[in-house]
Structure 1
């Protein structure tokens, strides 16, 4: 396996970086396929079960449960194994799972039990692959190009979400098995592309064999020594939960309270999705002009203002534009926080720290989904949005009051085992006096 010279890679723009292009294009097709298959799983569960709403709920649970069960062990494995090999195995595994769904639908032998198992397997493999790719990006691009690379990855995911959902439903209407066969083809391309990557994506060798629990404890202990990550992760989880409430409230406002057709939800999501793509594409521009605290605190503050505006707006276009502005802002500070996490985390911990961050964020979204349902049952959409806006303002204020977040800066050099990874660790922090857990 060839290890790319850092100076050679640094001189090559991303558009001519062979390994990055292989990684980006292969996983774009795989993400696109995931969006197509993901939006069709509930529809397929409805058909297979003979119209059971409970089966749809089971299918949704099968798609969400792996985020709680798989992420942390997956982070450990990504930090132990060759990340290129992990991505390749996951792509091959997803090809087999998706092809099995397509074949069983075509032969009319798919039962609800088998469907739930295949959904869980598909999502689990996607989680492991995503963590491996996130860690591998730092291997195939130099540190100074990391913001651009992550911004392009963010845009890739949002474009896949914008186009994959409608494409999946169209294919599903034409033929029930076709979205899964198309998604399997995307996974095949991803497997081939990853196989052609030349960079050495192996993590630093660990000293001796350890149990998974010990590796998890090491990742958690490291996060607890980082004032910025320790404070920001819960706040980002709260903001994600409130965003989930907004998503549910918009559907209730449009369909139930204003009486619009269900198709208007697609219009709203299309408009808002464009905002997310624009935010991902412009993230590097914003990061070059605004420091990390301004992106976080300013982003949360603008979210609160936009949520308040939604409570007074009506119609899919107005609500879509406001939600699109929220997605634009979310994409910008999403890229910024990802760059911060990756540049401050030692390579040997990349998988575990990313998994922990993903788990905390997923927990926030889950709580937001359940809490949003209760809120919308108790109050109407406008009052729910006003309550959410006030809660988001509190999150923004809390973020601004955290000293380590106010001092946070994205480092320009790769952290080493002998130097502090968190720039705020060099300055006295009232929150961390007395020593953090090791």
Structure 2
């Protein structure tokens, strides 16, 4: 029964991500068809990513408070309604332009709610020994959806603009059916036992304290936020270099697909490689050093083909690190804090993506692609040097400062053992 529920959950999320990728590919193309304005297409893209900045913190709070299966159902139902709104506007609405932005905002918001609930529900449907494999399968699922959904969305849009949205509707319907078929009694959140004569509380500060005091979590949040911000510049400068060297759009699209292939490889090998790593904090160090090496290759070569192959390498480490993060959270974070910790993590790391995308244009325009590549390499190299400080601040900071931080964060109230050197 537990693996049956995992299969249903996996297929529901796979269908949802596949349909969402089809629609996400069509959104900017539809915006250009309707208005001919790249600026409006940028607004549509931003509308789908802004919820990552605004919604992950409240979504984490909801996940620790309410039934996770119900939240997944509500999230998927909201995504289906957003897609149906676009289909209606294209067929009967007459003014689909503003509807496209509203739908993108709703899609992004409900996706955040669904994702936060889905991650915390996985440990309820598999045995603890099988959890690393299940989490790796989840990570691989996202990359498979990207590899299949992006090309199909573009192809279907070329046949008829509404076809990608029909695929998203059908995928969302299956996702809802699969969620309804799952066991209904296994997804209530656990609450921490309150002290005597104290009222139970659910505070975001508890999750933030857990992230700060856990050496793995605080390090990975910082390096992933920095990386996600800077990698948007890498992607843009590579596309600019490709256009300057007159590569065809089809060739650019194939090269960009290396990110999906790389992420899939990283997520598949993560469970077997992770077993041989004694201290999982070493995974962070290895990934950041690999980022520095790969961005150095981009800066030295200034060739879009070489750079986009390196981009695939960055995705390998990204998929590997994502699996390590989810594994650590599900193993070491108390379940009554898991939603808030995931919400804080994704708020900071995913929120860096739209900020990086907005900044990338200015960085590349001011520095030019070659200098922008060296700028990214320098910033990643500095991040790699900062990793030991983040992992073991006690070796670098005065003992009085460390003691003051522990006292301020009320370390004695944290029930789980947390390594703070």
Which range, TM-score by smaller chain?
Answer: 0.7 to 0.9
- Aligned match of 2:113: 128
Question: Are 1:216 and 2:201 matched, yes or no?
Answer: no
Secondary structure, aligned partner of 1:203: coil
**191 and 372 in structure 1: CA distance in 2 versus 1, 3 angstrom threshold:** same
152-161 vs 37-46, which moves further? 37-46
Q: CA deviation at 1:177?
A: 1.2
Equivalent pairs, count: 400
- 281, 287, 296: which is aligned to 2:284? 296
Matched, 1:42 2:37: no
SS at match of 1:289: coil
Q: Any unmatched runs of 5+ in structure 2?
A: 411-421
Residue 172 (str. 1) matches residue 179 (str. 2): no
Instruction: Give TM-score, length-normalised by structure 1.
Output: 0.85
Which residue number in structure 2 is paired with residue 332 of structure 1?
320
**Do the aligned partners of 2:216 and 2:281 also contact (CA within 8 Å) in 1?**
no
Residues 103 and 177, structure 1, Cα contact 8 Å, conserved in 2? no
Does the 8 A contact of 1:399 with 1:405 survive in 2?
Answer: no
Q: Is the 8 A contact 1:228 1:404 kept in 2?
A: no
Shift of 1:300: 0.6
Contact 2:6–2:122 (8 Å) recurs in 1: yes
Which residues of 2 match residues 234-273 of structure 1 at below 5 A? 234-256=222-244, 258-273=245-260
1:317-356 equivalences in 2 (<5 Å): 317-356=305-344
Is 1:81 paired with 2:81?
no
Provide the residue aligned with 2:6 in structure 1: 20
What is the CA distance between 1:82 and its match in structure 2?
0.6
* Alpha-carbon contact 2:218-2:390 (below 8 Å) kept: no
Q: What corresponds to 1:105 in structure 2?
A: 90
What do the CA deviations read for 1:370-428 (whole angstroms, capped 9, x no partner)? Answer: 33222211223222212211211111111133344999xxxxxxxxxxxxxxxxxxxxx
Deviations 1:259-313 (A, max 9, x none): 2223332021123321211111111121112231221111111111111112233
Which residue pairs with 1:229 in the alignment?
217
Partner Cα distance (2:310, 2:209) in 1 = 39
Report whether the alignment pairs 1:32 with 2:18.
yes
- The answer on whether the counterparts of 1:88 and 1:191 sit within 8 Å (CA) in structure 2 is yes
Compute the TM-score of the two structures, normalised by the length of structure 2.
0.88
1:144 aligns with 2:129: yes
Q: 1:54 aligned to 2:39?
A: yes
User: How much is the aligned-residue C-alpha RMSD, in angstroms?
Assistant: 2.5
